[in-house]
Amino acid sequence: MQMAGKPRFKMALCGIVSFLAAHASAAERAGMAELLKRLHLSGYSANLRAPEFSGFTADERSVSLAALRGRVIILTFWATWCHECRPEMPVFERLHREFAAQGFSVIGINAREGAASVRAYAKQLGLSFALVLDSRGDINTAYGVIGLPTTFLIGRDGRPVALAIGPREWGGKAARSLIEALLAAPAAPKGTP
């Protein structure tokens, strides 16, 4: 794992069961917890919210967490120099293309690199999902990112579901099942915090 920055955003890690209590049956909660376990993901308490952020991509598109409300999000923190990040990026692209129409977004937060480097990297790997520039590291700091890759899975209601520090098998059966389960969950009603 590549190391960068100091944690500031501290969320109490606990089982995903509490998050899912209001959204799923006992069997579904147990199945979801098993998927998190198989991917070695840390779950979050139901009362936590992902920190808001906004920024611009290397191709100057505006992206904000608020605008993505109602979508399931993979928020991955990465850099072009991160060797462990590279194999995940084409997998995230495949997931983005496959699930986008169902309400799924992949957002890459780049760690302190310039637009030209990010554009060249995206072109080389054929990436079309949003790659947000975090030139000062503000988004990395808000999320407490201490190593790359770090990936958050955020539910339709804007709450963090799981965290992965280091690479995972995002294209595997467990990850796909987890994404599909989150996509099947209802979006939070408008105006819900």
* SS3 sequence of the chain: CEECCCCCCCCCECCCHHHHCCCCCHHHHHHHHHHHHHCCCEEECCCCCCCCCEEEECCCCEEECHHHCCCEEEEEEECCCCCCCCCHHHHHHHHHHHHHHHCEEEEEEEECCCHHHHHHHHHHHCCCCEEEEECCCHHHHHCCCCEECEEEEECCCCCEEEEEECCCCCCCHHHHHHHHHHHHCCCCCCCCC
- Average pLDDT score over the chain: 85
- Give the tens place of pLDDT for each residue, 74-98: 999 999 999 999 999 999 999 999 9
Residue 45 has pLDDT above 90, yes or no: no
Residue 3 has pLDDT above 70, yes or no: no
Give this prediction's pTM.
0.82
Architecture in CATH for domain 2-10+48-169: 3-Layer(aba) Sandwich (3.40)
pLDDT attached to residue 26:
56
pLDDT attached to residue 47:
75
Domains in the chain: boundaries: 2-10+48-169
- Give the tens place of pLDDT for each residue, 135-173: 999 999 999 999 999 999 999 988 999 999 999 999 999
pLDDT attached to residue 96:
98
pLDDT band for position 71 (50/70/90)?
very high
